[in-house]
Chain A
Amino acid sequence: MGKVIASRLARLVATLLAVTFLTFSMTALLPGDPVNAILGVEAVRDPEVVAKIRADLGLDDPFFLRYANWLKDAATGDLGQSYITDQDVLTTITQRLPVTAQLAFMAIVMALILAIPIGVLGAYKQGKWQDSSTSAGVQIALSIPNFIVGIFLIWLFSVRLGWLPASNWNRITTEGLIQNLKTAILPASALAMTQMAIFSRLVRSDMIATLQEDYILAARSKGLSDRFILLRHALRPSSLSLMTIVGINFGALLGGTVIIEYLFAIPGVGFRLINAIFQRDIIVIQGITVFIATAYVVINTIVDLLYAVVDPRIRKG
């Protein structure tokens, strides 16, 4: 077990180094003087300001030294400061992170709650109408981009029925849970749709394979009820692959939150990223990209390790 952890952690460090390096070198791809890009083309060029930025960013240093300095700062939580809004990048992220995290968490939970029964039903009634109709539904759910789902949820629940607000965000801390959920349920549902389709397809195919195992036959011959076999014997092995796919899909989910936050005008990390891109605020774009990529890599490593904890075969191997 210790060996597994050590090797995974070594890989984590290597990947993080590479990922941060790649994000950092994107600024080197900028055409012309990075100061131009940072200040915006129309900005008044105060030579003092330009000199200050050059010194701040160490633009006269060689590239690798700049990366090393930037990485050292980033590791201590200093992702720099926007030259457009004067905000500290890490503060911006930490203020907005709870919103994005809540959305992602709600989406995963909603997706799992829907996906498991659908997948189990499909596997149990394999080839029957229940299976073919849910499979068709899953295929369709898989093919509708989440922003389209979001728009039609807004149209139905805000425009036509007037039940829920079409945009904005109420914080739990100031407005309370009920008001918070009113603003969170639509965007979370829009995010959950694709995830639900992916999860339920996995549960179905996994379960079909499990149901052919000998120990299921043994349980059947003992006279255990179908429901007991499905939930206690067959679902358990599927939970492992579910865990993996939740980890793998987390990246797509983070990308999805960017679009959904933009659609619903939710003050999360993703919406800030889009605004930064519109303003060409390079420092913020860089900071948020590194943050999201790091989060994704770390989460996948944790999932990998959990997998090893849960499945003894991997722990030993």
Chain B
Amino acid sequence: MEHTDLDNRLPEFPRDRLSNVSASVTTGVDVAPKKATFQEVVSSMPLRVKFASLWIVVVVVGAIYAKIDTSWLGGSLPLQDPNFQTNGFDRATGSFGTGEPIEGMSAAHWLGTDAIARDTFARLVHGGWVSLVVVVVSAACGVIIGGFLGSLVGFVRGRTETVIMATVDVILAFPALVLLLALVSIFEVRNLFVISTVIGVLSIPAYTRVARANALAISSRQFVTAARAIGTKPSRILFREVIPNVLPTLLAYAMVAAAFVVVVEGSLSFLGLSVQLPTPTWGNMINQARRDIKLNVAQVIWPSLALSITVLSLNQVGDFFQQRRAVKGSNL
């Protein structure tokens, strides 16, 4: 804040003296920013951001672990089938299971069981998978398609820009969740592919807007002008200069967007309009457990905590990376 104020008042003031990052700027020449190493990034994180990152890693690893075949581990880290009813008839033993519906926490069922005696911990870990897939697909659609479109129109300008940005504005003129509901209602079968594709397509406009704004700023920088001056082909400038510099900002945005996407998918699941039952998602676990809230509030608490902590973590990490980008940008 103070830096930019001073910068505005004293335009000839050597900006590199004010900067606390970006060693590359000390030459005084406007060059593309230098990349920070992984260790540098991690060590510059405040403690809460480290915890947030850790939680995200735990959820991601858990979701992937739940999805892959782990029988080769010799059952050393068992995770129950999320749809197995522990009080149901077991063909292997020829008898009924010993589980009870809405059990409390126990060694056999770490977080207890739900209304039809399914293991809550297993459902919780498996539930992360749907959120993970939706987030990854939406970020991929946004960064690849939205990032390319935004960088292109921000660099080329002209009529293409007018048309694409008008389309983007119209899609963003809808309340996001209402548009999503309307689109989702078209599909008779709602599986993970449909849900993640719809959310992915709807993510593109926001990324396009972010990418364009950044591409506009980068296109007027000295290193782009220099590239033009030495006769570099525009397509090469786009792919070698503009897009690589838009990308980090987009990835930081993707973290913040991920938090939003997790909430949106959770809301959709809660309404029963996301992936069909019995596939566990945090949203549909909350919706099912709330009917028995008088009997056992814990069954509502676990998926609610998982969802809220994930959103909080994504927000923390996203804010951290966005601030990093902003600080760098203001000092360049």
The yes or no verdict on A and B being binding partners is yes
B312/A140 in contact, CB under 8 A: yes
A192 within 8 A of B: no
One digit per residue, 1 when the CB lies within 8 angstroms of any chain A CB and 0 when it does not, for chain B 238-270 equals 000000000000000000000100010011001
**Residues in B neighbouring A289, C-beta threshold 8 A:** 174, 178-179, 181-182
Residues of A82-122 at the interface with B, using a CB-CB cut-off of 8 Å, are: none
A58 within 8 A of B: no
B31 within 8 A of A: no
In the complex, A93 Cα to B202 Cα: how many Å? Answer: 26
**Residues in A neighbouring B68, C-beta threshold 8 A:** none
A26/B311 in contact, CB under 8 A: no
In the complex, A62 Cα to B271 Cα: how many Å? Answer: 36
**Residues in A neighbouring B184, C-beta threshold 8 A:** 277
A151/B177 in contact, CB under 8 A: no
B185/A155 in contact, CB under 8 A: no
> From residue B305, how far is it (CB to closest CB) to chain A in Å?
9
**Residues in B neighbouring A23, C-beta threshold 8 A:** 182
In the complex, A147 Cα to B170 Cα: how many Å? Answer: 28
A262 within 8 A of B: yes
The stretch among A42-50, A64-72, A229-237, A248-256 that forms the contact with chain B is A248-256
B293/A255 in contact, CB under 8 A: no
> From residue B243, how far is it (CB to closest CB) to chain A in Å?
29
Pick the most buried of A30, A143, A251, A300: most chain B CB atoms within 10 A of its CB. Answer: A143
A139 within 8 A of B: yes
Name the contact of A148 in the complex, choosing from B5, B182, B188, B304 (C-beta under 8 A): B304
The count of residues in chain A whose C-beta lies closer than 8 Å to any C-beta of chain B is: 51
Q: Which residue of B lies closest to A145 (CB)?
A: B263
**Residues in A neighbouring B166, C-beta threshold 8 A:** 18
A303 within 8 A of B: no
Counting contact residues on chain B (CB < 8 A from A), the size range is 35 or more
> From residue B197, how far is it (CB to closest CB) to chain A in Å?
13
**Residues in B neighbouring A251, C-beta threshold 8 A:** 174-176, 178
Q: Which residue of B lies closest to A41 (CB)?
A: B188
Q: Which residue of B lies closest to A194 (CB)?
A: B263
**Residues in A neighbouring B182, C-beta threshold 8 A:** 23, 26, 285-286, 289
What is the predominant secondary structure among interface residues of chain A facing chain B?
helix
B175/A159 in contact, CB under 8 A: no
B173/A296 in contact, CB under 8 A: yes
Given contacts A151-B293, A155-B293, A159-B294, contact A255 B171 (CB under 8 A): no
Name the contact of B170 in the complex, choosing from A15, A142, A148 (C-beta under 8 A): A15
B169 within 8 A of A: yes
**Residues in B neighbouring A258, C-beta threshold 8 A:** 177-178, 181, 271
B196 within 8 A of A: no
In the complex, A315 Cα to B311 Cα: how many Å? Answer: 40
A273 within 8 A of B: yes
A144/B308 in contact, CB under 8 A: yes
26 A–B contacts from the bound complex (CB under 8 Å): A22-B170, A23-B182, A26-B183, A29-B186, A31-B188, A143-B259, A143-B308, A143-B309, A144-B304, A147-B266, A147-B267, A148-B304, A148-B307, A151-B286, A151-B290, A154-B290, A212-B1, A252-B177, A254-B178, A255-B176, A256-B177, A274-B181, A276-B185, A280-B188, A289-B174, A296-B174
4 nearest A-B pairs in the assembled complex, by CB-CB distance? A255-B177, A251-B175, A143-B312, A18-B170
Which residues of A are in contact with B by a Cβ distance under 8 Å?
15, 18-19, 22-23, 26, 29-31, 41, 139-140, 142-145, 147-148, 151-152, 154-155, 159, 208-209, 212, 250-252, 254-256, 258-259, 262-263, 273-274, 276-278, 280, 282, 285-286, 289, 292-293, 296-297, 300
